[in-house]
A = this chain, B = another copy of it.
Amino acid sequence: MKFSPLLSELISALTCLPGVGNKSAQRMAFHLLERNRQGALALSTVLHNAMEHIRHCQRCRTFTEDPLCEICRHPERADSGLLCIVESPQDVMAIEQTLTFKGTYFVLMGHLSPIDGIGPDDIGLGELEQRLREEAISEVILATNPTVEGEATAHYIAQLCSRHNIEASRIAHGVPVGGELEYIDGNTLTHAFSGRRRL
């Protein structure tokens, strides 16, 4: 004996969510059926609309239902001449929350990873080069993650920039503000030393 066909289907469909196995999917299905059918119906509708309408911004590749995202539509940002390269839309969000950057972004939606077969075309570097050619960009700020792949990707894009005679910079890595030296990993400390600045 199993759950009813429709209930089994629901449990199985819920496992398409990342980190949700059969047991959690069961718990979710029962929770929604018992306590939040309205919420589940609303989720069903939004899920459909989002999958049908959210595409990539034609300029920066972040997720948006409009041809251009809110940041790319902003005239002063486009005129700033600053272009920040990040790996994901969440990174855009993190940087925006600091209120320190007023330029535009290019979202790679990943990083170079030859082992996984992810090459320059998969992270939109053709579109990036087009922007380097067509826009008046004075500086490209490389804000990919401080991982092996993030560093390699930053390095690769820096070379692209130099071919277009555009200055490229890398965000600083070092001891986080408020961090205590004894708890910082060695790799970060090495970065902190090699990136030291004269006071």
Contacts and interface: CB of A to CB of B under 8 A. Distances in A.
Interface in A49-95: 49-54, 63-66, 69-71, 88-90, 92-93
A34 interface: yes
Q: Which of A3, A13, A14, A17 has the most CB of B within 10 A?
A: A17
Give the oligomeric copy count. 2
A26 interface: yes
B4 A18 contact: no
Interface stretch (A37-45, A161-169, A177-185): A37-45
A46 B10 contact: yes
Main secondary structure on chain A at its contact with chain B? helix
Contacts of A19: 24, 27
B46 A40 contact: no
Contacts of A10: 46-47, 50, 54
Given A1-B92, A6-B65, 20 more contacts: A1-B71, A1-B93, A3-B89, A4-B63, A6-B53, A7-B64, A7-B65, A9-B46, A9-B49, A10-B46, A10-B47, A13-B47, A16-B32, A16-B36, A17-B31, A17-B43, A18-B27, A40-B50, A44-B47, A44-B48
Interface of A: 1-7, 9-10, 13-14, 16-19, 24, 26-34, 36-37, 39-54, 63-66, 69-71, 88-90, 92-93, 96, 109
A-B pairs with the 10 shortest C-beta distances? A16-B39, A44-B47, A44-B48, A10-B50, A13-B46, A4-B64, A1-B96, A13-B43, A18-B31, A6-B65
